Structure 1
């Protein structure tokens, strides 16, 4: 079902920017995941050096000044 929904998005010309994320203590990027071939050309990898912040959103909220 999820694959069909994404293929539907692709048929409208939609694309997605994909940034890396921390998975079990290891920073992974798009190429580290198995992506169905039908979807690969609609995903655009954002280089880690442009988006990586080794802090969780929960930590950011906890530390922000009000």
Structure 2
């Protein structure tokens, strides 16, 4: 049985990376961090697997 990808919020990313919200968005804008998925106007989530890959140094920009 396969499960859908887990979506995580900015607080999860801040804990996983020790980066501020601003630094995360700077890296994302520069293409050095996984892109978030906008669910609503004020709600952005990231794939947990992308964040874990980035933390391990295995993530590559598409």
Q: What band does the TM-score fall into relative to the shorter chain?
A: under 0.3
Larger Rg: 1
TM-score (norm 1): 0.22
TM-score (norm 2): 0.22
